[in-house]
Amino acid sequence: MKPSQRWSAPDGRSRGSLDLTPPMSETLGSAAARAGCVVSVSHSRLPRGSCSGSGVLLSRDPPGGVVLCPGILFSPFLLESERPDWSRGKVLLSDRFFPGLRIQVLQTNGSSSNSSRPAARSTCLAGDLGGNNKPGLRFNPLSNRPRPRHGGRTCEAQLLMVAACPPFQEAFSKIFSASDRWHFGGNDFEQEVANSSEHEDWHALHWFALLRILEPADSLGASGVSCVPAGSLRKGDTVFACGSPFGSLCPEIFMNTLSKGIVSNLAGASNALVLIDARCLPGTEGGGVFVLSGMGPRLVGIIVAPLCWKSTEWVGLTLVCAVDSILESVAGVLSRSRGFLKPSLLPTELVTKSPAAVVLRNGLDRHLLDAVVLVECGPTWGSGVMISSRLLLTCRHVVGGASNVRIRFLTSPNRDSVVKGNVVFATKDSSPYDIALVELEEGLSTLPDLPLASTFHPGEDVSIVSFGVFGQACGPSVTSGILSAVITVEDKPVMLQATSAVHGGSSGGALFGTHSGKLLGIVASNTRDNSVGVTYPHLNFSIPITVLWSAILEYIHHGSLQGFQELDEVGGRIQVVWRLQREPVEMPLSKL
């Protein structure tokens, strides 16, 4: 490990920032390129019978390689007799699909003219771009090229099986409820296939396909991908997603595109379900998610859905399945196959849970998550931040005029405890500062120290910790971004603007400086364009802690609410800032 690659101790507390030096960047790009795939399947029986997404090249043994990709790509090609009950099983062999499926594999050989890409192998399963299949994205003339010009070759592949991952499905069913109108976009093709169900993506998300490349691999990139169990992940860990947006449409440009984010949330046995905030686009389903360890980049997950909506709100998180959970599920199928599948199809070293290499940690201190709590007011919830053993801050609209609320602690050391809280103050609706102060009826015996910021630096890395769209289902979520703006009035900060993803339920959450660990502010809102009904999760606003701290101290030491009451009497310029738009200027009437 180079001196610039500073990492955290096993307890998760950050010891410094991770400097991704050029050699490490090249290693990451090379590893991702060797493993990256774009998956496409076509058949003449269906109109426009081709669809594509990403995948991962697991191994080059047997010769040619074994590829892991999303099972949903194959759902349109199921035999009609299999459709009613197919999602309830655990494995589907190739004879359950239309005969004559065409699967092609595009492999780059490292001779790309794009010098910014490392000279390494990657894999792309490319669909038939001719015939009746006319891609909807038509902005680039390169998409009309019949064959890639980056030194790649096209190989045929064979479907071995499509297998379910029960640990992921179990975790998924506990978090995502159909009543919340969740939608998982990114693969438009299944919506166009006749007889496809409106909720087919729900049934197929936990299915993954294994493919065999039929042509022998050459000497480049002879090794397979290295994996690490998702159980080693912690919220806030840095991750890199590698996929090919828009699938096989234009691999010259989009193939093996990298995106960076953090682990936002974890759920299920051995963290089978992972949510990350890396920006991924349609077509990256099946792409790999990598972490950096002391031994280099390691594959930790497979992208299941790059885009998630709750009702009409874009959540801005990417759904990932742990690769070790997939491989263990497949290994279980192979061990029970009674000879019709060879266990050697899946290299045992990929499945064995050896001690994971230490994941390099450069994110938020884990103990700061303990300061963020779930605030329940009747059937609705929001977030809150503990600022002392008995006091917490949240938003006025979270408490909704109630005199008391329920506080849930879902992280250590007070995990699973519920305490009643009395609302001692809430600003008026006319106040631009949407804030409330809640006092617990029972004080906490342990509470992490919460350092408070006194200055703010635009451009610094920030993290938002809140309960977002999932409530108590899997604990607080963490999203990353930067402090994009500090808005001041009379040289005093009155609003903080950040780019971390924020959704319904995040109100009252904490805005932290990622590396300093200091509380910067209380999350108040994201951005919504009411004229078109669109919410933008990556543009949000927080109340600076400097606005509130003197009022907090006055209440702690003297029991006085005067400082909070002054928040109802702030000047008109602050009102204008928090209105997020200026009032139209009244024009003088014409004398004509």
CA distance 260 to 244: 14
Residue type, 437: L
Per-residue buried b or exposed e for 373-385, using 16+ beta carbons within 10 Å of the residue's own CB: bbbbbeeebbbbb
| Residue 216, token pair as written in the block | 């022998």
CA–CA dist 555, 431 (Å, integer): 20
Residue appearing with tokens 């009747």: 378
Side chain identity at residue 212, one-letter code = R
The set of catalytic residues is 397, 434, 507
Computed over its alpha carbons, how large is the radius of gyration of the chain?
Answer: 26
Which residue in the block uniquely carries the two structure tokens 């963490």? 478
DSSP annotation string for 49-61: -EEEEEEEEEE--
| Burial of residue 220, with CB atoms counted within 10 A of its CB: 0-12 exposed, 13-18 middle, 19 or more buried | middle
372 with 384: CB under 8 angstroms?
yes
Q: Spell out the alpha helix ranges (H) of 431-544.
A: none
Q: What is the token pair recorded at 450?
A: 């919460």
Dihedral sign, CA of 104, 106, 107, 111? positive
HSE, side-chain direction, 13 A CA sphere, residue 329:
27
Determine the Cα–Cα distance for residues 413 and 383; give it in Å rounded to an integer: 18
Instruction: In whole angstroms, give the CA distance from residue 478 to residue 381.
Output: 17
